[in-house]
Copies of this chain bind each other. A is one copy, B any other.
Amino acid sequence: MIESIPPTVPCAACPLRALPVFRSNTPEEIAFIEGMRLGQVDALAGVTIIEEGSQNPPLYTLFSGWAFRYKTLRDGRRQILNFLLPGDVIGFQAHMLGDSAHGVEALTNARLCRHARPKIWELYRNYPELAFDTTWLTAKEEKLVDDILTSVGRRSAAERIAMLMVNLYKRTRLLDPMAVDPIHIPLTQVHLADALGLSLVHTNKTLKRLQRRGLFIFEQQQLTMLDPAGLERLADYSETPLVPRPLL
């Protein structure tokens, strides 16, 4: 399922660090992070990275690929809480609280950096900037969930889809500023439905309707943005100021 692999690059040469979205670190900080990293592992698409309800699960950073956090009810209903992209931390909430209230599943084949959980404490003791960054990442993810909750609670199906498309489009562009449409979004309509709190059938119909309105094209997991302004208007989207993001 999840296989260890020989480390691909040292943290100092992490390709993510080269991206403008990520804040730069001092050499000492990078050395500490390198020391915290136990190694890299690969997870195939569809694999469960963290089991729902597991005790003290491992702590990862997503190096490449996509994943998502989710919760399920006993009868199988599933809510996707948010999607995880490279640079996102996996398992931190569980690290803090002791067990994982949610599961994490790989959407694509994914490569993860695994971290030594006990070193987090050392991080707090000796690298207050990194500790601060850690909190920043947690706060940022909470804000994202706040936004999603607002969508699911108060937006119509069409508005929710518009919102999600705009968000995913922006997030992927931050990670690949050179990308041109169409952009690869590795989601099936089941994922969309579970993330939006809608049924699969209704998601499909609303998705088609929006595409017929000429807002975007999304087929075979390829997204082409046709009318970004129209989509943002429909989503009642408000821009988030852009701040460089820490990377553990």
A residues contacting B by CB (< 8 A) are 53, 69, 71, 73-75, 77-79, 81, 92-93, 96-99, 101-102, 121, 124-125, 128-129, 131-132, 134-136, 138-143, 145-150, 152-155, 196-197, 236, 238, 240-241, 243
Q: Is A146 within 8 A of B74, CB to CB?
A: no
Q: Is A240 within 8 A of B131, CB to CB?
A: no
Known contacts A79-B153, A121-B132; 9 additional CB pairs below 8 A are A69-B146, A73-B155, A78-B154, A81-B149, A99-B241, A101-B146, A101-B240, A124-B132, A131-B135
- The DSSP consensus for interface residues of chain A is helix
In the assembled complex, 5 residue pairs joining A and B whose CB atoms fall closer than 8 Å, in A order, are A73-B236, A79-B150, A121-B128, A135-B135, A138-B138
Q: Is B71 within 8 A of A146, CB to CB?
A: yes
Q: Is A143 within 8 A of B243, CB to CB?
A: no
Q: Which B residue's beta carbon lies closest to that of A76?
A: B154
Bound-state Cα–Cα, A124 to B125, Å: 9
Q: Is B154 within 8 A of A96, CB to CB?
A: no
Q: Which B residue's beta carbon lies closest to that of A141?
A: B142
Q: Is A81 within 8 A of B150, CB to CB?
A: yes
Which residues from B are CB-within-8-Å of A141? Answer: 142
Which residues from B are CB-within-8-Å of A129? Answer: 124
Given A93-B142, A138-B138, A139-B96, A154:B101 Cβ within 8 A: no
Which residues from B are CB-within-8-Å of A73? Answer: 150, 154-155, 236
Bound-state Cα–Cα, A77 to B236, Å: 11
Q: Which B residue's beta carbon lies closest to that of A74?
A: B236
Which residues from B are CB-within-8-Å of A138? Answer: 135, 138-139, 142
Smallest distance from the beta carbon of A195 to chain B beta carbons, Å? 8
Q: Is A97 within 8 A of B149, CB to CB?
A: no
